[in-house]
């Protein structure tokens, strides 16, 4: 996607199509009908008030449902019976996330938060912590099934690090270098937020010869950057080795400082859940791959098409058959 901003710029190139903005409303309406899942108001803010796709209406309905779930949970916690007693906190030596937030509620201090802020934080953690993590684990599993050599390497590494008479523990994760490279390659090809979160410059600036006016909505196409043949050899090939062979000072991580690879975003809006998301995905996939061999149902073929959402998911859910891999069956109980 690229856009000619400012001055007389009136052409928008989207999915390879040059679309004249404003002059030809029919074109815009045709896209409204075909762009399933894409919110056109993100690309043409002037259309937002018409809510052509009913996105705002659906969002408000969902917000009401979310509100109901969170309010009930918060009420349950704040009523005296289920409140975490000081004794429980002392015994378990920890508080859960909700308890910490509730203690910050309406305190009249610098760190105090309101009920609306509390609910927003819970929604962030709830959605961010589940949607992208499960979508990425499914993509990783799909790529492993698509590439039997990768599956063998992942399982050989697990057998060596964990052992076939043991289950995966958190302490094993830093030693699983190949699994880590396999995830990095999955993130390169199936980056969950193709355009990241929208940015808005507070000053007009020039980027790559284009003027970006103050207040414009800017989308960064990380999907295209991570598949750009100028940055990556054989970009559509699934090859975890490219993340094992570090060249010179090149560092592969999720810090967002490498301009060719930043699946968790970059700068101040970078994902704050990286350590948790990374650990959850590694632990889930390592356990699945270590404990079971996986195959597709007879006659089934893998489908790699995706579907637009908060995170880019597989269009068709992955269906696979597990068979036990560990000799000690008591490890499965």
Contact residues toward ligand HEM (CB under 6 A) are 124-125, 128-129, 132-133, 136, 192-193, 196-197, 264-266, 269-273, 276-277, 281
Measured from the CB atom, the residue of 27 and 284 that comes closer to ligand HEM is: 284
Measured from the CB atom, the residue of 129 and 235 that comes closer to ligand HEM is: 129
Measured from the CB atom, the residue of 11 and 197 that comes closer to ligand HEM is: 197
Q: Measure the CA–CA gap between 256 and 279, rounded to whole angstroms.
A: 18
The CB-of-307 to ligand HEM minimum distance in angstroms stands at 16
Measured from the CB atom, the residue of 96 and 328 that comes closer to ligand HEM is: 96
The CB-of-141 to ligand HEM minimum distance in angstroms stands at 13
Three-class SS of the chain: CEECCCCCCCEEEECCEEEECCCCHHHHHHHHHHCCCCCHHHHCHHHHHHCCCCHHHHHHHHHHHHHHHHHHHHHHHHCCCCCCCHHHHHHHCCCCHHHHHHHCECCCCCCCECHHHHHHHHHHHHHHHHHHHHHHHHHHHHHHHHCHHHHHHHHHHHHHHCCCCCCCCHHHHHHCHHHHHHHHHHHHHCCCCCCCCCECCCCCEEECCEEECCCCCECCCHHHHCCCCCCCCCCCCCCHHHHCCCCCCCCCCCCCCECCECCCCCHHHCCCCHHHHHHHHHHHHHHHHHHEEEECCCCCCCCCCEECCCCCEECCCCCCEEEECCCCHHHHC
The CB-of-228 to ligand HEM minimum distance in angstroms stands at 18
Measured from the CB atom, the residue of 77 and 199 that comes closer to ligand HEM is: 199
The CB-of-169 to ligand HEM minimum distance in angstroms stands at 20
The CB-of-224 to ligand HEM minimum distance in angstroms stands at 15
The CB-of-47 to ligand HEM minimum distance in angstroms stands at 23
The CB-of-162 to ligand HEM minimum distance in angstroms stands at 22
Measured from the CB atom, the residue of 240 and 265 that comes closer to ligand HEM is: 265
Are 280 and 135 in contact by the 8 Å Cβ rule? The answer is no
The CB-of-265 to ligand HEM minimum distance in angstroms stands at 2
Measured from the CB atom, the residue of 271 and 285 that comes closer to ligand HEM is: 271
Measured from the CB atom, the residue of 90 and 268 that comes closer to ligand HEM is: 268
Quick one: tokens of 203? 């000053």
Are 117 and 70 in contact by the 8 Å Cβ rule? The answer is no
């Amino acid at each position: 996607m690229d856009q000619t901003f400012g001055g007389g710029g009136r052409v928008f190139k989207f999915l390879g199509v040059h679309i004249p903005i404003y002059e030809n409303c029919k074109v815009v309406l045709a896209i409204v009908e075909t762009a399933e899942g894409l919110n056109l108001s993100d690309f043409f803010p002037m259309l937002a008030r018409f809510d052509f796709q009913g996105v705002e209406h659906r969002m408000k309905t969902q917000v009401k449902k979310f509100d109901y779930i969170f309010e009930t949970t918060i009420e349950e916690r704040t009523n005296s019976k289920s409140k975490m007693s000081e004794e429980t906190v002392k015994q378990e030596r920890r508080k859960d996330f909700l308890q910490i937030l509730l203690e910050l509620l309406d305190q009249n201090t610098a760190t105090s938060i309101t009920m609306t802020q509390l609910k927003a934080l819970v929604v962030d953690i709830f959605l961010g912590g589940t949607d992208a993590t499960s979508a990425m684990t499914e993509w990783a599993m799909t790529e492993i099934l698509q590439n039997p050599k990768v599956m063998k390497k992942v399982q050989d590494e697990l057998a060596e690090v964990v052992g076939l008479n043991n289950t995966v523990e958190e302490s094993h994760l830093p030693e699983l270098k190949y699994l880590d490279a396999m995830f990095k390659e999955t993130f390169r090809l199936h980056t969950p937020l193709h355009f990241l979160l929208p940015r808005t410059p507070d000053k007009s600036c020039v980027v790559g010869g284009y003027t970006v006016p103050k207040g414009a909505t800017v989308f960064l196409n990380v999907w295209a950057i991570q598949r750009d043949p100028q940055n990556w050899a054989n970009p559509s090939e699934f090859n975890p080795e490219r993340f094992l062979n570090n060249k010179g000072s090149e560092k592969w991580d999720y810090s967002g400082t490498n301009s060719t690879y930043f699946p968790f975003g970059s700068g101040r809006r970078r994902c704050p859940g990286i350590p948790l998301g990374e650990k959850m995905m590694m632990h889930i996939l390592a356990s699945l791959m270590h404990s079971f061999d996986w195959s597709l149902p007879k006659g089934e073929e893998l489908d790699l098409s995706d579907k637009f959402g908060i995170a880019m998911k597989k269009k068709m859910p992955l269906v696979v058959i597990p068979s036990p891999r560990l000799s000690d069956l008591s490890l499965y109980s």
